Amino acid sequence: MAQDTLGTLLSILRDGQPRTRAELVQLTGLARSTVSQRLDALLFHRWIVPAEHAISSGGRPSTAFAFNPRARIVLAVDLGVTHARLAVTDLSGSIVAERTCDVAIAQGPEPSLNWLLETFTELLAGCGHRMADVCGAGVGLPGPVEHDTGRPVNPPLMPGWDGFSVADWLGSRIGAPVLVDNDVNIMALGEHSAAGPQTDHLLFTKVGTGIGCGIISGGRLHRGARGAAGDIGHIRVPGSEVVCHCGNTGCLEAVAGGGAVAARLRAEELEAADARDVVRLVRAGNTWAIRQVRQSGRDLGLVLASIVNFFNPTEIVIGGDLADAGEHLIAGIREAIYGRSLPLATQWLNIRASDLGASAGVTGAASMIIEHVLTPESVEQSIRS
């Protein structure tokens, strides 16, 4: 207990509620002198701030202490194949500054990351901060990532990035820890932080050109043994023989992904290069496009129905470019899941569109690094060093 008392006090105060010294003594069971000493250290390093504490007896308000979300700032980026979203947030995850830009990730890791650093430096200057104020960065990449080392693993859309240590390269330049994960996992983290801690079992499904799933189980992101958990794009859709780029037939991605739907629309002489064009046609009321999106939802729902039986989530959140087609996709998904899943598994199941939309990635990247820098051990270390 003794060596982590700083971090323990801070983790109690993180809910934002101010507490007095006496309350903290009671909550921790520590000696009053120990609590006072630790509070002084936390105050000195700006992790907490004095706050007025309302008391019911009508007496003089006693001094209380509250977590200071502005004590440090974090960097968050959702790096896509052709565009990126960058954000600077405080320690509550509130976005202080944000920017979206075009970027060609195929130019390789060093040019892309150098660009990222320059853009972050500009963004920080714009909101009155310097790189020295940054306590960590969360990065999402559009490909498989080994989270423990922060390296992409054979990413199909990122030539030159295989095995490149994004975490080390960026971490040594910003002078703070960097955590890296794939885009779907950070979006799942973002949706989970927005949904609140009561939603402990959540599936985030990204439906774009590819299809992937981020799994929150028991309140934590489930990455699996090698980080491949949730890769549902190549699960077979029953009854389909469509050939996939992976060499198999009937893969979910080849049947229900944005590229597959666009190809079916092109076969009907409609102009559709990708998921975004599909969404444009749906919004314009094109009945063939609407029908194809609904079918894509049903095919996706067939695969998700098995996952619902297996995993029993309380919430399925649908995001990605094709999700912008609105209710048509979700309606198809619901139809298949409620028709195929067990009643006990669907009883409390909520299937809905993403609340965060395009911000899900940066929200999750920020939350990933905030949870890391605010662990009792990390706080303890930051004060000692």
User: What is the Rg, in whole angstroms, of the alpha carbon atoms belonging to the chain?
Assistant: 23
Cβ(66)–Cβ(24) below 8 Å: no
Contact pick of 24, 97, 135, 251 for Zn ion (by CB under 5 A): 251
Site membership for Zn ion, residue 3 (CB under 5 A): no
The beta-carbon contacts of 128-131 under 8 Å, at least 24 apart in sequence, are 129/73, 129/88, 129/96, 131/174, 131/175
Q: Considering the rule CB under 5 A, would residue 246 count as an interface residue with Zn ion?
A: yes
Q: Does 156 bind Zn ion (CB under 5 A)?
A: no
Stretch that binds Zn ion, among 168-176, 236-244, 281-289, 337-345 (CB under 5 A): 236-244
CA distance 356 to 194: 8
Sign of the CA dihedral with 279 first, then 83, 100, and 319 last: positive
Contact pattern from residue 266 through residue 305 relative to Zn ion, giving x for each residue in contact according to CB under 5 A and a dash for the rest: ----------------------------------------
Q: How many CB atoms are closer than 10 A to CB 40?
A: 10
Look up residue 317 and give its DSSP letter: E
- Is residue 248 within the footprint of Zn ion (CB under 5 A)? yes
For Zn ion, the closer CB: 244 or 360? 244
Site string for Zn ion, 309-348 (x = CB under 5 A): ----------------------------------------
Q: Kindly identify the residues of this chain, within the stretch 175-234, that bind Zn ion according to CB under 5 A.
A: 234
Q: Nearest distance from residue 250's CB to Zn ion, in Å?
A: 8
244 binds Zn ion (CB under 5 A): yes
Q: What are phi and psi of 190, to 5 degrees?
A: -65, -45
DSSP per-residue codes, 200-239: -SEEEEEESSSEEEEEEETTEE---SSS-TT-GGGSBPTT
* In the complex, minimum distance from the CB of residue 348 to Zn ion, in angstroms, rounded to a whole number: 32
Binding site for Zn ion (CB under 5 A): 234, 244, 246, 248, 251
